[in-house]
Amino acid sequence: MKQLASVKPAILVVDDTPENIDVLRGILGTDYTIKIANNGPLALKIAAAQPPDLILLDVMMPVMDGYEVCRQLKADPLTSAIPVIFITAKAETEDEVQGLALGAVDYLTKPVIPAIVKARVQTQLALRQTRRELEEKNLILNDEKELLEDIVSRMRSASPFDGRRVRHIQSSLEKTGGDIILSAYRPGGIQHVLVGDFSGHGLPAAFGGPLVSYIFYRLTAEGCTMRQILEEVDRTLCRQLPTQLYMAAGALELSPDRNLAVVWNCGLPPVLCLSAAHGINRISSSGLPLGISESVDTFEPHAQIVMESDTGIYLYSDGLTEATSPGRELYGQARLEALMERIHREQLPLEVIWQELDTYCGGQGLSDDAALVEVSPCR
């Protein structure tokens, strides 16, 4: 069976002098399909109707010079990606600078040297083909990314989160974020709450969420303690995820009568315990993030909190404190604690935090995923 010849790349030669067109056709006609335009307006029409792979453009033409032709080509989305090489008798440096500033990829002076013309044309067409292949691969990667994001989102939406006696807010930079909030009750009424912040954000960080969620809810339903859950999460993350992926975590275990809260902080900002009688009690991190090392000997609790009627415990990721102002100043721990005291004292919605941070960031949004959960005795 006869094999079809490959399609030659198309080059549009724009010049008002027939002799110059003949020279370029003689140099390039064997390897490329040559299209001709003897003025600027005609060149624009041809380029828009049947975009060539490359344009060789003269500068000095009547009615519309080459600079204006290039300017209009780059302003039109249909033709902006076509590489343009100026071929002109104008050999001054400022002429070349002007042409390149308009978006041309190269600048050749007349009289042309055939070998140079062939080499420059070949180089630009190879670059254009590489860009096309990269764009196609990026489209495929984006499709795959959207599919993976949908899978992770479905897995998370299936999570049996128990929202009794907790309030929470969460924000992700992408469709799937690296922060998680989990809540469930053990048989007998003990409540488990966990806030996790995976290193990084986006899909790599998000993949650990469903794994931790599965372990948390399965072991809670089986009656395991929070200590046992943290040990299993740490062991599993160390074995299943790459070393650069790990999870800072804060966890609570609340008694059925909600008079006692046991606290773990493994790499999160200070857990805040607020009450009128005692003000702010900060439980700072006392353990490594989960998934860094299996050699951690123990997950003993880091604090025990006697819960009073107005006590509120707040676990959160560092996306809140690392919100950045237009002047590049972090929101910081002090501002967040003052805001949390006001929210707790006045019983404001947690969404006030987003309003405050949006104003602080000048409407530019957060620079990291963020999550916060509030646990109280009777909410």
195 and 86 both lie in a single domain: no
203 and 334 both lie in a single domain: yes
Closest to 251 (Cα-Cα) out of 178, 301, 200, 306: 301
Buried b (16+ CB within 10 A) or exposed e, 257-272: ebeebbbbbbbbbbbb
According to the model, what pLDDT value does residue 48 have?
Answer: 95
215 and 338 both lie in a single domain: yes
Q: Tell me the CATH number at 316.
A: 3.60.40.10
In a domain, 324, yes or no: yes
Counting the structural domains of the chain, the total is 2
In a domain, 4, yes or no: no
345 and 293 both lie in a single domain: yes
According to the model, what pLDDT value does residue 339 have?
Answer: 96
Specify which residues 84 forms β-bridges with.
Answer: 55
Closest to 320 (Cα-Cα) out of 258, 281, 375, 371: 371
In a domain, 143, yes or no: no
In a domain, 361, yes or no: yes
Residue 211 domain boundaries: 159-375
Angle between helices 208-221 and 226-240 (to 10 degrees): 150
According to the model, what pLDDT value does residue 1 have?
Answer: 45
In a domain, 141, yes or no: no
Nearest-angstrom CA–CA distance, 45 and 22: 21
113 and 169 both lie in a single domain: no
Question: Which residues lie below 8 Å from residue 312, measured CB to CB, with a gap of 6+?
Answer: 273, 274, 275, 344, 374, 375, 376
According to the model, what pLDDT value does residue 374 have?
Answer: 96
239 and 302 both lie in a single domain: yes
- Write out residues in the chain with pLDDT < 50, as ranges: 1-4
In a domain, 26, yes or no: yes
In a domain, 150, yes or no: no
Nearest-angstrom CA–CA distance, 224 and 217: 10
In a domain, 5, yes or no: no
pTM: 0.65
121 and 170 both lie in a single domain: no
129 and 181 both lie in a single domain: no
Q: Tell me the CATH number at 93.
A: 3.40.50.2300
122 and 166 both lie in a single domain: no
Give yes or no for a contact between 31 and 22, defined as CB atoms under 8 angstroms apart.
Answer: no
56 and 189 both lie in a single domain: no
According to the model, what pLDDT value does residue 350 have?
Answer: 95
127 and 191 both lie in a single domain: no
According to the model, what pLDDT value does residue 5 have?
Answer: 52
170 and 296 both lie in a single domain: yes
